[in-house]
């Protein structure tokens, strides 16, 4: 089984027809979708920095650009419409399009909103993103959302802004052992390498243009192949899903380990096929 564990409902995944075509072209079974830019058919060109200059953690400087663009274009204001759009796509193709609910932390009572959405949608994952809807990584809301995810048995996917934020997030991970935490874009695997090993930490390896092979290998060293997850971050980069599948296979891991990263690990985490 191959599962794209991190993509957005735009670009190649803008609607159900194109999403299924994209999955089929890559030989993938399913995708976990969250919103971003509802209705946008744009697939962005991203320079392959991970190949040309492999050593930096590129998501750190890129985060500054993302935050500026989100604020300038007021992109976060479309998140609620985007969540509804992903839910509609999931209902049309429930086995292949899985919903990740992106929580808008700017709301007066985010947790109450999360609970209300859960009652209708029964999504597979919850997402927090510091560049779009800021939150304190060691604040009360972070702990509350993590506790909520543990109660509902869904992973908490986090896109963090800086190495300092990753360091603070580790305290939440360590204190909420029943919550599976997925760190977007392998940020920052160097920080986590200095921490005690925890069993509820997972790394997303998208996108191929910004996450180097060295980061994927380091993530494997830190959490093991069973806690590394395929993602594409579509539409931020071209042909991301097919390229990242090929990169995983290029690592020459034992077949069982490679198949786990490509989808088996996430299927187990989400209870798919059990």
Q: What is the pLDDT of residues 172-194, one digit of tens each?
A: 999 999 999 999 999 999 999 99
Q: What is the pLDDT of residues 118-155, one digit of tens each?
A: 999 999 999 999 999 999 999 999 999 999 999 999 99
Please give the residue range of the domain that contains residue 17: 3-270
Are the C-beta atoms of 4 and 241 separated by less than 8 Å?
yes
Q: What is the pLDDT of residues 228-267, one digit of tens each?
A: 999 999 999 999 999 999 999 999 999 999 999 999 999 9
DSSP string for residues in 86-148: HHHHHHHSTTTEEEEEE--TTSSSHHHHHHHHHHHH--SEEEEETTTS---TTSHHHHHHHHH
- The total domain count for the chain is 1
Query: Exposed, middle or buried, 196 (CB in 10 Å: 0-12/13-18/19+)?
Result: exposed
Nearest-10 Cα torsion for 184, 120, 200, 61 = 20
> What is the pTM assigned to this prediction?
0.97
CATH number for the domain harbouring residue 56 = 3.20.20.140
Q: How many CA atoms lie within 13 A of 20 on its CB side?
A: 9
Cβ count near 261 (within 10 Å): 29
Can you tell me the distance from the alpha carbon of 75 to that of 102, in angstroms, rounded to the nearest whole number? 13
């Amino acid at each position: 089984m191959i599962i794209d564990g991190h993509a957005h409902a735009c670009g190649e995944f803008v609607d159900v027809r194109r999403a299924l075509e994209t999955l089929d072209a890559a030989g993938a079974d399913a995708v976990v979708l969250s919103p971003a830019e509802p209705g946008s058919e744009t697939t962005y060109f991203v320079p392959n920095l991970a190949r040309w200059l492999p050593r930096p953690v590129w998501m750190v400087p890129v985060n500054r650009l993302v935050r500026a663009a989100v604020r300038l274009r007021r992109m976060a204001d479309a998140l609620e419409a985007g969540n509804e759009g992903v839910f509609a796509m999931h209902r049309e193709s429930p086995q292949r399009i899985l919903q990740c609910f992106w929580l808008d932390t700017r709301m007066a009572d985010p947790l109450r909103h999360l609970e209300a959405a859960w009652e209708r949608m029964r999504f597979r994952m919850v997402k927090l993103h510091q560049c779009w809807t800021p939150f304190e990584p060691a604040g009360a809301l972070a702990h509350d959302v993590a506790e909520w995810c543990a109660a509902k048995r869904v992973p908490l996917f986090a896109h963090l802004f800086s190495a300092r934020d990753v360091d603070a997030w580790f305290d939440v991970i360590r204190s909420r052992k029943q919550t599976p935490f997925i760190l977007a874009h392998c940020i920052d695997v160097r920080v986590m390498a200095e921490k005690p090993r925890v069993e509820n930490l997972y790394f997303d390896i998208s996108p191929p243009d910004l996450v180097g092979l060295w980061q994927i290998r380091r993530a494997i060293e830190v959490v093991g192949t069973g806690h590394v997850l395929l993602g594409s971050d579509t539409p931020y980069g071209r042909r991301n899903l097919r390229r990242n599948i090929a990169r995983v296979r290029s690592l020459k891991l034992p077949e069982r380990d490679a198949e786990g990263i490509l989808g088996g690990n996430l299927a187990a985490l989400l209870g798919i096929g059990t």
